[in-house]
Amino acid sequence: MLTNARLVYQPHDHVRSLNAAISRAHEICNTSNVRLTSTREAILKLLWQSHQPLGAYQLQQQLSKVTDKPVAPPTIYRAIEFLINLGLVHRIPSLNAYVGCPFPNSEHSNIFLICKSCKTVAEVADNRVNSLLENVSEKATFTLENQTIELFGLCPNCEPGASDE
């Protein structure tokens, strides 16, 4: 499966994407017999409302505005850890920030296309990359637990001449 990252950078139904992500989160939580608390859901919504990755302190500030009460950093980190463990959110190590996962509950390579200009992030998955990583790991008798590939460049909207189209 290779997703078309170009679609992420083009206009799309943001509300529909958000609603689908929240619906999937509820399904995964029900299947896993865990609770998607209001704080966890609010953090997931904040991540999906932004195409840019958000750090824990950014999430804390935004969540405090939404709830009109202060939210302690440990609460944010526990909620993020919960969402990561369910595969609903990814951490982007180089940015120390988080994004919602469009492919929850699936085995896929974590490949992130990060625009250096607008900071937008698109996640893509490609079975060929998954196979390559598995083969390399097997040959080295290495047990691959997780991986992240970060590619930096310019998105279609920020490429020189993009506004000329």
Q: 123-152, pLDDT tens digit by residue?
A: 888 888 888 999 999 999 999 888 889 999
Closest Cα to residue 126, out of 149, 146, 145?
A: 149
Q: What tens digit of pLDDT does each residue of 10-43 get?
A: 555 667 788 888 999 999 999 999 999 999 999 9
Burial of 7 (0-12, 13-18, 19+ CB in 10 A): exposed
User: Which residues does 115 contact at the CB level (< 8 Å), separation at least 6?
Assistant: 121, 153, 154, 155, 157, 158
Q: Is the dihedral of CA 47, 51, 56, 62 positive or negative?
A: negative
Distance CA(41)–CA(54), nearest Å, equals 15
More confident residue, 53 or 69: 53
Backbone torsion region of residue 68, taken as left when φ is above 0, otherwise alpha when ψ lies between -120 and 50, otherwise beta: left
> What does the mean pLDDT of the chain come to?
86
Residues 6 or more apart whose CB falls under 8 angstroms from that of 134 comprise 144
Strand partners for 153: 115
Q: What is the pTM of this model?
A: 0.84
Residue 98 has pLDDT above 90, yes or no: yes
